[in-house]
Amino acid sequence: MPRMEVLATPAAMRRWRHRVSGSVGFVPTMGYLHEGHMQLVRRSTGENLHTVVSIFVNPTQFAPGEDFERYPRDEVRDLELLRLAGVGAVYLPSAAEMYPPGYQTYVDVEKVTVPLEGASRPGHFRGVTTVVLKLLNAVQPQKAYFGRKDAQQLRVVKRMVLDLDLDCEIVPCDIVREPDGLAMSSRNVYLTLEQRAAAPVIRRALLEARGLYESGERDADRLRATALAVLAREPLGTVEYISLADDVTLEELSGAVRGPALLSTVVRFGATRLLDNVELG
Ligand code: PAF
């Protein structure tokens, strides 16, 4: 297996990129890799000659008081997993390299960042789009792989790529779940045993609403209420939002659902926010 290179600066990343020829696939991550990340990696290694994975816990996408400092990290294990997966390069910049003194440039995508996570986490998407653009600039991939779990992030990044004429295909990848239906997330380690046992209620709630949709129900309020009723039966979870929105613009739907829609939710277990979604239609 060829040696995996670990690159710590944008300049080193660019030098590596200029040395290789053939297609490059890119998987941006914040590390603490789980099977969800590894499926993105495998998709990329299957579709490209080279795969780059970035590991960077991006401070600008965390609001003050969020979990930036305690976000789980395990660089040694991550690098070993990526080496075994046949990744060509890992881009592992420091915050000082990404945001040196004097840094003052940010990317703002407008409407699609406003609802849902944008409303709950002010400034979050400004941090995400800024870092994703910086990563794409350094890596220059033909394809970049994003999970469908962060459904709004996927739509925001697609919008940015379109609006800024970036020459990169954004490839959405399916959510990877634990056997009991809980979507995989690095933040699942924060859950207590009781919270972890209760958390699959999120998937059950979304599936109940999707079942109703598939049996012909199109009323947006009734679909949201169905998911909410299942969630309400779980006392350990607090629903932050349940949304049924246009699949592309993420504008909240009222009345009859006519086109593709995204049913998404955030449920808090203690201080841990768990996201999940299903696509309808
Ligand atoms: O989804 C994530 O892990 C992050 O938001 C990303 C895309 C790596 C940007 O920091």
Q: Indicate whether residue 131 lines ligand 1 (CB < 6 A).
A: yes
| Phi and psi torsions of 7, nearest 5° | -115, 130
- Report the CATH number at residue 57: 3.40.50.620
Indicate left, alpha or beta for 226 from its phi (over 0: left) and psi (-120 to 50: alpha). alpha
Residues 118 and 194 in one domain: no
Residues 159 and 191 in one domain: no
Task: Using the 3D structure, point to which of 116, 150, 173 is the last residue of a domain.
Answer: 173
Buried b (16+ CB within 10 A) or exposed e, 262-271: bbbbbbebee
203 C-alpha to ligand 1 centroid (Å)? 22
Q: Which domain holds residue 133?
A: 5-173
Task: Using the 3D structure, point to which of 173, 206, 227 is the last residue of a domain.
Answer: 173
Instruction: Locate the DSSP E strands across 44-150.
Output: 50-55, 89-91, 143-147
Q: By three-state DSSP, how is residue 89 classified?
A: strand
Residues 27 and 115 in one domain: yes
Residues 81 and 129 in one domain: yes
* pLDDT tens, per residue, the chain with 281 residues: 679 999 999 999 999 999 999 999 999 999 999 999 999 999 999 999 999 999 999 999 999 999 999 999 999 999 999 999 999 999 999 999 999 999 999 999 999 999 999 999 999 999 999 999 999 999 999 999 999 999 999 999 999 999 999 999 999 999 999 999 999 999 999 999 999 999 999 999 999 999 999 999 999 999 999 999 999 999 999 999 999 999 999 999 999 999 999 999 999 999 999 999 999 99
Residues 134 and 205 in one domain: no
- Report the CATH number at residue 231: 3.30.1300.10
Residues 198 and 125 in one domain: no
Give nearest CA residue, ligand 1 atom 5.
128
In the prediction, which pLDDT does 2 show? 75
132 C-alpha to ligand 1 centroid (Å)? 8
CA separation for the pair 143, 51 (Å, rounded): 10
With respect to residue 178, please indicate whether it lies within any of the assigned structural domains: no
For the sheet with 5-7, list strands across it: 5-7, 89-91, 50-55, 24-29, 143-147, 169-173
Please say if 37 is a catalytic residue. yes
Per-residue model confidence as pLDDT tens digits over 244-253: 999 999 999 9
* pTM higher than 0.95: yes
Q: Indicate whether residue 160 lines ligand 1 (CB < 6 A).
A: no
214 C-alpha to ligand 1 centroid (Å)? 32
Within 8 A by CB and 6+ apart from 253, the residues are 220, 244, 245, 246, 261
- From the CA atom positions of the chain, what is the Rg in Å? 19
